[in-house]
Chains A and B, each alone.
Chain A
Amino acid sequence: MPLLELLLSAIVDALAYSSMIYMAALGLVIIFGLMDVFNLSHGAFFGLGAYIFVTVFYATNNFLLSILVTALIGAAVGLATERLIIRPVYGQPLAQLLVTMGLMTLLFTLIQLVWPTGLWFPETESFIVSGYVEIASVRVRVYKFFLMVVGFTLFALMSITLSKTMFGVKLRAGTESRELARVFGVNIDRLFSLGFMLGSLLAFLGGALVAPLTHATVELPVHFSLLAFAIPVVGGMKSYTGAFYASLLVGFVDRFVAYFAPWLTFAVDLFVMIAVLLLKPEGLFGR
């Protein structure tokens, strides 16, 4: 493929990928911002979402229904995790690290156990999901544009929620100071649960949405885990806007390397992370 076409294809890919990375990572930032807990199992949530979505799709053949079910499961898993696993170790950073790492490994093992060979997302009749479009003689999958729309919509929704709703105000207040939020009458425990549920739901949803594009492969949970982890590091651990721009950056870097030097993908992703950590440890948009 001539260079211009290749470039166009890569850009579309990168934008779609960035959207999904944003979905995976936004929950991480919300949770860390509120609770100072870095949920290492978040990427595993993403992977689980993909697998559950495809499994449900096999059974129902209904895209929207599968999405809905996955999202609900995601919220439930989030609630259960926050109550049973995160809350008991609240205030102990080492234990939090260890327990979320344990959950991550556990979920990865579970995924390998139940679906040892990955899941293939089949062709559908829907134009949006499986159709193609021609742009400047390049055949682009329509679904990628769909993902882009989802990502940008999410960013818009997030910005509106944060700035215009009381929930958003509470979220920002809780992120700034838990103690003061309590003094202002905010029920922090409930906020934590809601925040974790929202984050988890987004991760599951992201996995579900990416599955038709990438299929639920064996590598998917690990790959997106690391990409998601890179976002708070690059964008700022508690910055909601930072997460969006960091997703774009990481998404573009990842996909462009994948196009031109695929064996270096992981290494370059890692390099970006290290570079930011060493040069601007609080993240590009962090305070």
Chain B
Amino acid sequence: MEKLRGLVLPHRALGYLVMAAILAAPWVDRSLAAGLALSYVWASLALSYNILLGFAGVASFGHAVPFGVAAFLTAYMLKAGVPYLVVIPVAGIVAGAIYTVMGLPAYRVRGIYYAILTLAIAEALRSTIESTARTTVALTVGSIAELESLAGLYIYLALFLLLVALALASAAQDVKSTRRKRARFLKAVVYAVFLAGLAAAGYRMLFSSAEFLAGVSAGMPRVRVMRFLYPLNAYLLSAVALAACYIAIKRLAESPLGTTLVAIRENPVRASVLGYNVFAHQLAAFFASGFFGGIAGSVYVASIPTVMTDVFGSDKTFLALTGAIIGGLGTLVGPAVGGIVAGVLRDYLSSLTPALLSVSGLTPQQAQLIPSFVLGVIYIAVVLAMPYGVWGTWLLRGWKLKRKLENLLGFGAS
């Protein structure tokens, strides 16, 4: 009972609401599912990148390596028939191990040198694979068994209902424990609105699920079943993976390892004098970063079932980096939000390209690159706009924003 109580904490309310909203999204607009699912992958990648850059203070431009390795390994294992839920952690561990090996020189080789080295490693890997293979390397998985199962739908609905219940309970607790009358009223209103929206979405969810299930037992053609089910399951996987990564990394940040890493980042000499094994801690950071990056890479295959050598491309590192930068290094929510923003932006820009095609004389292949280009410009603008440097501004702004929000919702003085 105590453990259950622990779940229903006032400050968790917002988190539950957000997670429920994430789950509700595809039911409101089905077309969002595919794009958002991929964005969550980038968000997870950005979070994993943040472990290295934000916490350990190591700039690595080879983040595509654990990601790509995990993606290829996942595709390979899935084709061999290994259950997906087994593959994901395995891919994560392998990716973590590989990143740890890549992290070995980081102790000796500092800053810019290490960044160049990792860039070279990622590119060398990609080009060696490409030139060794006779043809374009592409591993196609086809339809993934787990994503076809009906069980996924049940899990989805159950999870949603659970989250809404938790959100309701936590929100109630939160409102109850707020002392100031005006804040209490404001909170109650906001929560009510949120919950009402979720309820509406939930109703829609249950209704169309019921419709769907009725159709299935009446003998719906398999194609239609898959069209309904598959993207939902893929979306669920991405979202759950992101949530799991977020929670795990948050625990990590608050753990002894996390705080030690920050101390090392701030002042490595002092940390080693105090007896901390800087090298070991750094390697641990590499492993963690690679592990979560590997999870992202493994989940990536669900959205993009054909894995090619472009997973080692520097644009993957770049996307993770952009997400982390836009969102803010060193905070946790930042990279997650940033990763989603980067992914969504890229998708939005991609969706504009058919219009661009008709206006200019570009081939589809060329038009595909325009989103990356625009994203690159935005990235540069964001980096340049940091008055206190990339670090300082987000460390400042991240906290200021949080405090503003807290004050607004009356969390502050209670």
Residues on A lying within 8 angstroms of B by beta carbon are 38, 40, 85, 88-89, 92-95, 97-99, 101-103, 105-106, 108-110, 112-114, 116, 219, 222, 226, 229-230, 233, 262-267, 269-270, 273-274, 277-278, 281
Q: Report the stretch among B221-229, B255-263, B366-374 that lies at the interface.
A: B366-374
Pairs across A and B, CB under 8 Å, 25 listed: A40-B116, A85-B380, A94-B389, A95-B390, A99-B380, A101-B61, A101-B115, A101-B321, A102-B379, A102-B380, A106-B376, A116-B365, A226-B119, A226-B120, A229-B119, A233-B113, A262-B131, A265-B131, A266-B127, A267-B128, A270-B124, A277-B113, A278-B109, A281-B108, A281-B113
Given contacts A98-B383, A267-B124, whether A106 and B113 have CB atoms under 8 Å apart is: no
Report yes or no: B370 in contact with A113, Cβ–Cβ below 8 A: yes
A69 to B373, CA, bound (A): 25
A226 to B116, CA, bound (A): 8
B278 on the A face (CB < 8 A): no
A264 to B391, CA, bound (A): 39
Report yes or no: B128 in contact with A264, Cβ–Cβ below 8 A: yes
Q: Mark each residue of chain B from 115 to 135: 1 if its CB lies under 8 Å from any CB of chain A, else 0.
A: 111011101100110011000
Given contacts A98-B321, A105-B315, A270-B121, whether A89 and B384 have CB atoms under 8 Å apart is: yes
Task: Note all chain B residues with C-beta closer than 8 A to A233.
Answer: 113, 116
Contact residues of B between 104 and 162, Cβ < 8 Å to A: 105, 108-109, 111-113, 115-117, 119-121, 123-124, 127-128, 131-132
Given contacts A89-B384, A113-B373, A277-B109, whether A94 and B59 have CB atoms under 8 Å apart is: yes
Give chain A nearest CB distance to B110 CB in angstroms: 9
Give chain A nearest CB distance to B191 CB in angstroms: 39
Task: Note all chain A residues with C-beta closer than 8 A to B300.
Answer: none
Residues on B lying within 8 angstroms of A by beta carbon are 59, 61, 105, 108-109, 111-113, 115-117, 119-121, 123-124, 127-128, 131-132, 314-315, 318, 321, 325, 362-363, 365-366, 369-370, 372-373, 376-377, 379-380, 383-384, 386, 389-391
Report yes or no: A110 in contact with B373, Cβ–Cβ below 8 A: yes
Taking each of B116, B321, B390, which has the highest tally of chain A beta carbons within 10 Å of its own beta carbon? B116
A219 to B309, CA, bound (A): 14
Give chain A nearest CB distance to B353 CB in angstroms: 12
Task: Note all chain B residues with C-beta closer than 8 A to A278.
Answer: 105, 108-109
Task: Note all chain B residues with C-beta closer than 8 A to A273.
Answer: 116-117, 120
Task: Note all chain B residues with C-beta closer than 8 A to A266.
Answer: 123-124, 127-128, 131
With A110-B373, A113-B373, A277-B105 known, 10 other A-B pairs at CB within 8 A are A85-B380, A95-B389, A97-B115, A98-B321, A99-B384, A101-B318, A102-B383, A233-B113, A262-B131, A270-B121
Taking each of A93, A102, A278, which has the highest tally of chain B beta carbons within 10 Å of its own beta carbon? A102
A277 to B123, CA, bound (A): 18
> Out of B116, B318, B369, which one reaches A229, CB within 8 Å?
B116
A272 to B370, CA, bound (A): 36
**Chain B minimum-CB-distance residue to A115:** B366
Report yes or no: B372 in contact with A222, Cβ–Cβ below 8 A: no
Q: Pick the 4 closest A-B CB pairs, nearest first.
A: A106-B376, A266-B124, A92-B389, A270-B124
Report yes or no: A103 in contact with B380, Cβ–Cβ below 8 A: yes
Report yes or no: B366 in contact with A116, Cβ–Cβ below 8 A: yes
> Out of A85, A101, A105, A267, which one reaches B384, CB within 8 Å?
A85
Give chain A nearest CB distance to B387 CB in angstroms: 10
Task: Note all chain B residues with C-beta closer than 8 A to A94.
Answer: 59, 389-391
**Chain B minimum-CB-distance residue to A113:** B369
Task: Note all chain B residues with C-beta closer than 8 A to A277.
Answer: 105, 108-109, 113, 117
A274 to B377, CA, bound (A): 32
Task: Note all chain B residues with C-beta closer than 8 A to A97.
Answer: 59, 111-112, 115
Task: Note all chain B residues with C-beta closer than 8 A to A85.
Answer: 380, 384
A112 to B59, CA, bound (A): 26
A258 to B330, CA, bound (A): 43
Give chain A nearest CB distance to B57 CB in angstroms: 9
Task: Note all chain B residues with C-beta closer than 8 A to A109.
Answer: 315, 369, 372-373, 376
A285 to B119, CA, bound (A): 23
Report yes or no: B376 in contact with A102, Cβ–Cβ below 8 A: yes
A112 to B369, CA, bound (A): 8
Task: Note all chain B residues with C-beta closer than 8 A to A230.
Answer: 120
Given contacts A89-B384, A103-B380, whether A274 and B117 have CB atoms under 8 Å apart is: yes
A226 to B118, CA, bound (A): 11
**Chain B minimum-CB-distance residue to A229:** B116
Give chain A nearest CB distance to B255 CB in angstroms: 25
Report yes or no: B131 in contact with A263, Cβ–Cβ below 8 A: yes
Task: Note all chain B residues with C-beta closer than 8 A to A269.
Answer: 120, 124
Report yes or no: B116 in contact with A95, Cβ–Cβ below 8 A: no
Task: Note all chain A residues with C-beta closer than 8 A to B121.
Answer: 270
**Chain A minimum-CB-distance residue to B115:** A97
Given contacts A94-B390, A98-B390, A105-B314, whether A38 and B116 have CB atoms under 8 Å apart is: yes
A85 to B381, CA, bound (A): 9
Task: Note all chain B residues with C-beta closer than 8 A to A222.
Answer: 123, 127
A76 to B116, CA, bound (A): 26
Given contacts A113-B373, A264-B128, A281-B108, whether A105 and B123 have CB atoms under 8 Å apart is: no
**Chain A minimum-CB-distance residue to B377:** A106
A269 to B116, CA, bound (A): 13
Task: Note all chain A residues with C-beta closer than 8 A to B386.
Answer: 95
